[in-house]
Structure formats: structure tokens, C-alpha cells
Amino acid sequence: MPIPADWPTTEAQALAEQERLRPLVQTHDDPGDPDGGRLIAGVDVAYDDEHDLVAAAAVLLDRDTLTVVEQATAVGRIPFPYTPGLLAFRELPAVLDALAALTRTPDTVVCDGYGLAHPRRLGLASHLGVLTGLRTLGVAKTPFTFDHRDPDAPRGSTTPLTDPATGEEVGRALRTRPGVKPVYVSIGHRIGLDTAVRTTLHLARDYRLPETTRHADSLCRRALADALRSGTPAN
């Protein structure tokens, strides 16, 4: 998996790229397509910094049955140092390769992370959506730097995730299992927040995390372990 030749390599370049892409994020549903189609992909990555390897997985599910219909992985060198707020630059080259290896194009992609709920409003989900044109949303496990009240205990309860500096709603805390800690949903690209929350709840039918994330997390970890075990070098 070669790193794109024009991929940012410094913090200044990455910040400039986020500023360039941020105005391109579409924060509403596509007209006439509120549900986002039948094929929903989950993407996730796993790292081994010691060996300079990152593995990405893309798992395509049928929206109606939540069964896996296709999956793909990509393994490569880590293309960017760890910097809070710039994680997309570590993850996206591998994620893009994993998505490109699928034979079918997802109607929606669920990212393990944030989209609009980001200090510069361009987290992984939004960055991926703008680069690919795909409809995306982010579902994170932790609230990052934003404020929220805990949702009520029943499944489906939500509260706003807000920027303490501006009061802007950048996402929602969503209770996917009764009495279990919430997940944090944000717009990626070409989707409204209500639809992102509804989609997440549908995908998290039996567990706290959406099935897309559960499958992608497991697959990328296996891909990384296989690469380390086999000694297969990344490009």
C-alpha cells in the first residue's frame, strides 16, 4: 500500500489541508434518499507503531439483515505521526485502499471516530466523505473534547454533544443499549445528524457498538496480526 505522493507529512501541511476541505462537507441528507441505501460499510484501523504498520478493514453489510456481504483489508506503513486532531492523516491511506478493494461501492460508510465533532470540524468521517464523495458518519466510543449530559437510560435516548467554546451542537450522545454507556454520533458527509443517529441505532441492534464497527474492528486486528506473523512487508 504506497502512501499517496502528495499526502501531508507535517502538522502545518495537515492543518492547511483540513482548512481546505472543511467547507466541502455536506451536513444534510441527499434529497430523496433519507435512508442512504442498502449497502453499509464499516471501516476501522489497527496499528503496530514498533513495526511501523497500519492495517485497515472495510466490511460491507446488508442494511436489512446486518449480514456481511463482502470485506477487504489493506496493510501499509504508518504515513503520519500521532498528533491529536490529525488522526485521519495516519489512517486514511489504508482505509482508502481497503475500500477500493471492495467490488461493490458502499451506499454509506460508518467510521470508528468523529466527523463534524472535531476541533476543526473535519474528523476522519468527514475527511473520508469529502475525499471519496461517499456518504459517511462517525460513531466514536468517547466524547473527545466536547460537552454532553448522559442520555436517559432507555435505548434510543440522546443528548446534544456541544462545543463548549461556541455552544454549537456537533453530534449526539446516543444510548444504544439500556443502561450502557452511550456512543457519540456525528455527521460525516452527505448526511444529517438525525439520520446519522437513526442509522447508528439500527446498526447497533444487539450490542453497544454498530455491527459495522464490530466487524471492521475484528477484521483489521486479524489483518495486522497476520501481517506481523508472516513478516510480510508493507509497500
Q: Are 117 and 186 in contact (CB under 8 A)?
A: yes
Whether residue 2 is predicted with pLDDT greater than 80 in this model: the reply is: no
Beta strands in 35-154 (DSSP E): 39-48, 53-62, 68-77, 108-111, 136-140
Q: Where are the domains of the chain?
A: 24-230
Q: Where are the alpha helices (DSSP H) in 34-170?
A: 88-101, 124-132
pLDDT in tens, 11-68: 999 999 999 999 999 999 988 776 768 999 999 999 999 999 999 999 999 999 999 9
Whether residue 234 is predicted with pLDDT greater than 60 in this model: the reply is: no
pLDDT in tens, 99-150: 999 999 999 999 999 999 999 999 999 999 999 999 999 999 988 788 899 9
d(CA 93, CA 235): 12
pLDDT in tens, 189-224: 999 999 999 999 999 999 999 999 999 999 999 999
Can you give the pTM of this predicted structure? 0.94
Q: Name which CATH class applies to 24-230.
A: alpha beta
pLDDT in tens, 144-181: 788 899 999 999 999 999 998 899 999 999 999 998 99
pLDDT of residue 43: 98
Pick the closest to residue 77 from 60, 59, 58, 97 (CA basis): 97
Name the β-bridge partners of 159. Answer: 173
Beta strands in the chain (DSSP E): 39-48, 53-62, 68-77, 108-111, 136-140, 158-162, 169-174, 183-189
